[in-house]
Amino acid sequence: MDESLRGLRVIITAGASGIGRVTAGAFLEQGARVHICDISPEHLQDFQAAFPQAGATRADVSDPAQVAAFMQAALERLGGVDVLVNNAGTAGPTALAEEISVADWDHTMRVGIHAQFYCAREVIPLMKKNRRGSIVNMSSTAGLFGFPLRTPYAAAKWAVIGLTKTLAMELGEFGIRVNAICPGAVEGARIDGVIERNAAALGKTREAIRQEFMRHTSMRTFVGPQDVANLILFLCSEKGEKISGQALAVDGHTESLR
């Protein structure tokens, strides 16, 4: 157990499933206190049954009013905040740029980047007052490469890195570190959906698309949610206290996305 994580007050968006849920569980195992949000009532119910010691709020983080209400509930329950994990995101549409609707573009941006700003601006004043804190923003290897057929997703993930590096510059003097994590293809329902949509768009089988994804990495592998959670915990611990402004890939080394 890492004693530097014990007692940390941790807020995680989209924390009831996938990477968020595994990350919440990992923090709880280390003795941290956790409050999450999620948009899915079913996922929230399942999360609360599995982790009754954690707090949970239903919220759509693309709506600043719902973010404010979620943060108020989290801060009242935790009594403050030491860690924010901006995990919420959406895969967005799979199509050529000219075929993507304005509504799909806007929704991908609201969830993928606007929400991270909404959440960060809620916790920054408290972290400044405490002169400590860690913000971890979820980007993607799509934030390091172009990603054909996924224009809004890639644009949002590149924007996350810009937000991260700028916040790190603004907040470093207050002892607050800000980093972005860039997962590759993460096993789970989201990547399964991406594979299915790519297969339909390109007229290929799902297995062929899956193998193409794996060939894009030097290690010929997908990663698991626990791999991502491990890095998040490291960054938020004393071991990561001098790491800030970085975009760190957990991806088996992505060579390209095409």
pLDDT tens-place string over residues 41-71: 999 999 999 999 999 999 999 999 999 999 9
| 134-191 pLDDT tens trace | 999 999 999 999 889 999 999 999 999 999 999 999 999 999 999 999 998 777 777 7
- Average predicted confidence (pLDDT) for the chain: 93
* pTM more than 0.85: yes
Q: Which of 51, 147, 153, 213 is catalytic?
A: 153
Inter-residue contact 2 to 229 (CB < 8 Å): no
The CA–CA distances, whole Å, from 227 to 33, 186, 235 equal: 21, 9, 13
Q: Is pLDDT above 70 for 22? A: yes
pLDDT of 203 > 90? The answer is no
Dihedral sign, Cα of residue 61, residue 137, residue 228, residue 181: positive
Place of tokens 């907040």: 171
258: pLDDT confidence band, cut at 50, 70 and 90?
A: low
Q: Is 153 a catalytic residue?
A: yes
